[in-house]
Amino acid sequence: MKTAWFIARKYFFSRKNPSAINVITGISLGGYAVGAMALIVLLSALNGFEETLFGEYKNSTADLIITPKEGKTFQLKHKWLEGIKKENGVESVCLVLSDKAIIKYYNEQTVCKVVGVDSGVFKVFPTNTWNKSGNLVLDPNKEVGSAWMSEGLVYRLNVSSSDLYLELLTPDRTSSTLAQTTLNRELLNIASMVHLGTDDNDNTVFVPLHVAQRLFMQEGALSELALKTNISPDEVSKNLGDRGLLTGFVVKNRKQQNVTMYKMFNTEKWFSFALLVLILLLISFNLFGALRMMRTDKRKDLQIYDAMGMTSVSAKNIFRLQGIMVSVYGTIVGIVIGVGLVWLQYNYGLVKTQATFELIYPVSLRFSDVLMVFGLNSTIGLLVSIPTNELTK
């Protein structure tokens, strides 16, 4: 094996007699380098978008939420709630009741998502990162409650002053006929404008829990419990299930709360990855052709090696190692260039969006991606080199 390695290395680095074989081998090496570079840049860019996109979800969604299996709401049982609060790993709990309502400000109105929360919201969610204007106050003792309006909703309603009351309207569920439907009405002070995740930033208003329960005529009802954990959310979820506290309920972690977005993003990510892998496979045909031509070109050398006592297995290994070296060295060069480009983008923001406001394209390099690209390219090079065994016969 050492002899085969020595000869393969000599063929790989020797450039004393340039030929078409050397050119094709160089093209193959360049192809692996470009493929590895493209994969590193692509995966880093997608990682950057993933962290940017789901970073907003992290700010606006809880570690865990508990919702009823059937129906939209459930009646809170304090003994059950105390059992959840005492569970190991549960740091804080927020009571939530949410539903749709009509929101009206001055002469503007639209449909919005009303989220009623108790004081646990300050412990479960990073509310300090939400506030864009005003004060995040939630005083349940005041006759007129305080409302936090999402940024997009503020712009949609053209809110220009917090001195005017905000109105929330819902149909009265006790009305006997549709023709005589009356509306429940709640007046609120606008306390703050908040920035939430992408899905909730255009239509959400937060109000005190008792205001939401009165508005929707759901006294003592909740739509979910939001939990903050200090250990793995999945471990807490399992422990709650083992203790029988989730009977009739569904518990969801952050990814399960945004399952559609996660699936869509991962599909796009791996489709793009598969497309580049396909291109890399096509490039590998150059290496296969180069090895065939090299086998023909080195026929006299093989006859000499055979006369010197080299076995057929060692002769086969010469070209196998040659193919592996092309893929490995090409991959290393491509990874180095790709990492360098990602580093430049991360530190200097060379590529920016062409939108009204220029934004730097986010990137995030992960060591696991580097290992995956190296392993993938090396494996493809090895598989392409295996058929050369037949060429030494």
Dump the DSSP string for 150-217: EHHHHHHTT---SSSPEEEEEE-TT-S-GGG--EEEEEEEEEEEE---TTTTTTEEEEEHHHHHHHTT
Q: How far is CA 201 from CA 11, 96, 151, 285, in A?
A: 62, 18, 6, 50
Q: How confident is the model at residue 260 (pLDDT cuts 50, 70, 90)?
A: confident
Percent of the chain whose predicted confidence (pLDDT) is above 70: 79
Average pLDDT over every residue of 73-81: 93
Q: How confident is the model at residue 392 (pLDDT cuts 50, 70, 90)?
A: very low
| Cα gap 221→205, rounded to integer Å | 19
Q: How confident is the model at residue 274 (pLDDT cuts 50, 70, 90)?
A: confident
pLDDT at 5: 58
Report the candidate in 248, 238, 263, 261 with the shortest Cα–Cα distance to residue 60: 261
Average pLDDT over every residue of 30-41: 90
pLDDT at 393: 46
Mean pLDDT estimate for the chain: 83
pLDDT at 125: 92
Amino acid symbol at 281: L
Residue 315 has pLDDT above 70, yes or no: no
Q: Which range, of 209-213, 271-275, 350-354, 380-384, averages the lowest pLDDT?
A: 350-354
pLDDT at 41: 93
Q: How confident is the model at residue 177 (pLDDT cuts 50, 70, 90)?
A: low
Residue 321 has pLDDT above 60, yes or no: yes
Residue ranges of E strands in the chain: 64-68, 74-75, 90-105, 108-117, 131-134, 145-150, 166-171, 183-194, 204-208, 221-222, 224-229, 249-253
pLDDT at 268: 82
Q: Which range, of 263-267, 336-340, 354-358, averages the lowest pLDDT?
A: 354-358
**165 within 8 A of 187, measured Cβ to Cβ:** yes
Q: Which range, of 3-7, 23-27, 97-101, averages the lowest pLDDT?
A: 3-7
pTM: 0.71
Percent of the chain whose predicted confidence (pLDDT) is above 90: 40
